[in-house]
């Protein structure tokens, strides 16, 4: 043992087995570390150490580690840490993780650990506990063993949750840390998770007519086995049909399927084209099952997407209604959190009914803003989101004395909603059950749900630039402050389009700048204005950032 309370020799010899190539730099970004799976080995080892240190700092409470690259292509992989309440890692620790990941040698690794221990005032005599899982990516097993070496190096007690979804891992973290307390979140097993969700769902739809089967596109990822298990717990309460379940077929993961494909291409996965009939309800999960997008075909077989914004609108209105029915509207206020990517029509619809806040991209921003409401509904347009109930609200539900049978029923429903919803993080399967509950209660098909408001046509474009860090934003990323002068030019373009709105920000997960644009539909239902605006702004960004004219994408205007 060194004077700092850890076994430097042990760390050093394990670290030597996971060397970092000198020319690589890693960064803990919006979604943790994420890059090609083949280069992540040293990062995994070091993340194992960080997880142990974080747990020690938290008096031995269990920290989660999820190995996944979500909706990204199959060769990618990634890793992110989950804090004790099942939430994203605290921001200062993202910095520690980045510093340790970039330590050049094993001696440097020791030095960085010493420095973190000192700066964060970590009592190294405390125990460390971690729970970890991975998605179905082929690079997963080797990366997990590097991670386990990290746990061993720092002396953390590991619990392997195997192959499961990101939201299950978040659930497990909170369940483990609240076990045996008054805040118990449920049994700390995957079975505990499925039975909690399924039981609450069954209570919520009891006595209602059985729904037609729901088609689920599992993105050929970990959502497939998870949905299969969930289906067993649900029984007849929700008939489901699973599609894109080939988790062992090379290259199939997220390939022309899944929530991100549907949201960005605004069309059906090709594998569902002959599968889906007009009126069928269908949804897509992403590669780690924390995003959800619904859709349906109308009578003319035209595709209609019901994205995260539509889910937020559906769910928020339903909760407000239940709160009123339960006689709790003076004590329980519902609010919504969105990002700049929310469709303008959704923001208008929601703001006319509820408080709505816009925050920067990334779940942690949404989650924290949602915590300020009694009931906070947050969704990114891409289908990642959830609903969180404050402790005070949960107590209000528990102590409220209903005056009528109708109030009592509404209250029971609210309590069951707190159980069907995974409050730790966006969860495709839990959100899917939530949507199904609302559709059942409202007797809505996709058509009625879709008609809450009409989406403004919109387009998202990626622009490759030499330095995305040159792009800085303000006002929840809705305005560029740098490069100087660019915002004014974007606004000039925007003003040429009726209802035009466009903004530009650097991605936190890819080496690109993203351009979003939307514009009103004109008289002849011409929806070409939004792409036109997006490609004009993309062209502007490309040129201003010094892009090579020879390689300028031809769709840029």
DSSP state of 389: E
The answer to whether 531 contacts ligand GN1 (rule: CB under 6 A) is no
458 binds, among ligand GN1, Mg ion, none (CB under 5 to 8 A by kind): none
- Cα 277 to Cα 255: distance, rounded to the nearest angstrom: 22
Q: Which of 165, 178, 255, 382 contacts ligand GN1 by CB under 6 A?
A: 382
Q: Annotate 502-551 with DSSP letters as a single string.
A: EEEEE-SSSSSEEEEEE----TT----HHHHHHHHHHHHHHHHTT--GGG
In the complex with Mg ion, the residue whose CB is nearer, 53 or 425, is 425
* Nearest to 272, CA basis, from 249, 240, 303: 303
The answer to whether 380 contacts ligand GN1 (rule: CB under 6 A) is yes
Residues 317-336 binding ligand GN1 (CB under 6 A) are none
The answer to whether 361 contacts ligand GN1 (rule: CB under 6 A) is yes
Q: Which residues bind Mg ion (CB under 5 A)?
A: 70, 286, 288, 290
Beta bridge partners of 32: 29, 30
The answer to whether 78 contacts ligand GN1 (rule: CB under 6 A) is no
544 binds, among ligand GN1, Mg ion, none (CB under 5 to 8 A by kind): none
The answer to whether 135 contacts ligand GN1 (rule: CB under 6 A) is no
Q: How far is CA 172 from CA 189, 190, 424, in A?
A: 7, 8, 10
70 is catalytic: yes
Q: CB–CB of 289/428 below 8 Å?
A: yes
- Cα 21 to Cα 252: distance, rounded to the nearest angstrom: 30
The answer to whether 343 contacts ligand GN1 (rule: CB under 6 A) is no
Q: Which of 459, 478, 514, 536 contacts ligand GN1 by CB under 6 A?
A: 514
Residues 95-134 binding ligand GN1 (CB under 6 A) are none
Q: CB–CB of 169/141 below 8 Å?
A: no
- Cα 270 to Cα 257: distance, rounded to the nearest angstrom: 8
State the minimum distance, in angstroms, from the CB of residue 417 to Mg ion. 23
77 binds, among ligand GN1, Mg ion, none (CB under 5 to 8 A by kind): none
* Span interacting with ligand GN1, options 2-10, 388-396, 503-511, 533-541, rule CB under 6 A: 503-511
Site size with ligand GN1, rule: CB under 6 A: 15
Q: Which of 510, 520, 522, 527 contacts ligand GN1 by CB under 6 A?
A: 510
| Residue 417, C-beta contacts closer than 8 angstroms, at least 6 positions apart | 200, 204, 319, 322, 387, 434, 437
Set 15, 55, 70, 106: catalytic member: 70
The answer to whether 509 contacts ligand GN1 (rule: CB under 6 A) is yes
The answer to whether 31 contacts ligand GN1 (rule: CB under 6 A) is yes
CB-based burial label for 514 (10 Å; 0-12, 13-18, 19+): buried
Question: Nearest 5 degrees, angle CA 498-CA 502-CA 504?
Answer: 170
290 binds, among Mg ion, ligand GN1, none (CB under 5 to 8 A by kind): Mg ion
Q: How many other C-beta atoms can be found within 10 angstroms of the C-beta atom of residue 351?
A: 13
Q: How many other C-beta atoms can be found within 10 angstroms of the C-beta atom of residue 369?
A: 20
Collapse the DSSP code of 383 into the 3-class scheme (helix H, G, I; strand E, B; otherwise coil) and give the result. coil
In the complex with Mg ion, the residue whose CB is nearer, 34 or 501, is 34
DSSP state of 281: E
The answer to whether 292 contacts ligand GN1 (rule: CB under 6 A) is no
State the minimum distance, in angstroms, from the CB of residue 283 to ligand GN1. 17
State the minimum distance, in angstroms, from the CB of residue 291 to ligand GN1. 8
Q: Which residues are known to be catalytic?
A: 70
Residues near ligand GN1 (CB under 6 A) are 30-31, 70, 341, 361-363, 380, 382, 384, 507-510, 514
């Amino acid at each position: 043992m060194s004077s700092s309370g850890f076994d430097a020799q042990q760390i050093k010899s394990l670290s030597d087995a996971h060397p970092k190539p000198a020319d690589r730099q890693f960064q803990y970004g919006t979604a943790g570390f994420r890059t090609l799976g083949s280069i992540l080995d040293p990062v995994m080892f070091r993340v194992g150490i960080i997880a142990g240190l974080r747990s020690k700092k938290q008096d031995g409470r269990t920290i989660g580690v999820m190995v996944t690259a979500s909706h990204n292509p199959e060769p990618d992989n990634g890793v992110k840490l989950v804090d004790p309440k099942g939430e994203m890692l605290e921001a200062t620790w993202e910095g520690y993780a980045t510093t340790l990941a970039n330590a050049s040698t094993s001696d440097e690794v020791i030095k960085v650990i010493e420095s973190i221990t000192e700066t964060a005032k970590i009592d190294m005599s405390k125990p460390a506990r971690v729970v970890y899982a991975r998605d179905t990516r082929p690079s997963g097993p080797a990366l997990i063993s590097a991670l386990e070496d990290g746990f061993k190096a720092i002396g953390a007690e590991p619990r392997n949750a195997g192959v499961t979804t990101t939201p299950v891992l978040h659930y497990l973290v909170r369940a483990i840390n609240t076990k045996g307390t008054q805040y118990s979140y449920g049994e700390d097993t995957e079975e505990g998770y499925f039975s909690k969700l399924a039981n609450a769902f069954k209570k919520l739809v009891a006595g209602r007519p059985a729904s037609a089967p729901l088609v689920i596109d599992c993105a050929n990822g970990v959502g497939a086995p998870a949905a299969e298990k969930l289906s067993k717990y649900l029984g007849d309460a929700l008939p489901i049909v699973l599609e894109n379940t080939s988790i062992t077929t090379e290259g199939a993961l997220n390939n022309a399927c899944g929530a991100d494909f549907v949201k960005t291409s605004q069309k059906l996965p090709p594998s569902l084209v002959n599968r889906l009939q007009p009126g069928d309800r269908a949804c897509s999960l992403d590669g780690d099952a924390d995003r959800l997008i619904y859709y349906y075909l109308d009578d003319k077989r035209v595709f209609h997407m019901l994205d995260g914004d539509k889910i937020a609108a559906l769910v928020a209105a339903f909760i407000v209604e239940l709160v009123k029915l339960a006689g709790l509207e003076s004590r329980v206020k519902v609010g919504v959190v969105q990002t700049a990517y929310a469709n303008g029509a959704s923001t208008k619809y929601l703001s006319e009914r509820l408080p709505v806040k816009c925050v920067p991209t990334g779940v942690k921003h949404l989650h924290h803003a949602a915590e300020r409401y009694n009931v906070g509904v947050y969704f990114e347009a891409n289908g990642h989101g959830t609903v969180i109930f404050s402790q005070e609200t949960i107590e209000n539900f528990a102590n409220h004395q209903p005056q009528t049978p109708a109030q009592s029923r509404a209250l029971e429903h609210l309590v069951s909603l707190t159980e069907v919803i995974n409050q730790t993080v966006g969860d495709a399967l839990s959100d899917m059950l939530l949507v199904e509950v609302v559709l059942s209660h409202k007797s809505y098909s996709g058509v009625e749900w879709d008609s809450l408001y009409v989406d403004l046509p919109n387009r998202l474009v990626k622009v490759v630039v030499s330095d995305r860090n040159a792009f800085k934003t303000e006002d929840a990323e809705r305005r560029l402050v740098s490069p100087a002068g660019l915002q004014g030019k974007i606004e000039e373009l925007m003003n040429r389009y009726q209802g035009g709105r466009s903004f530009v920000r650097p991605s936190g997960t890819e080496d690109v700048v993203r351009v979003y644009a939307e514009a009103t539909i004109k008289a002849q239902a011409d929806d070409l204005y939004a792409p036109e605006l997006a490609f004009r702004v993309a062209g502007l960004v490309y040129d201003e950032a010094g892009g090579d004219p020879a390689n300028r994408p031809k769709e840029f205007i």
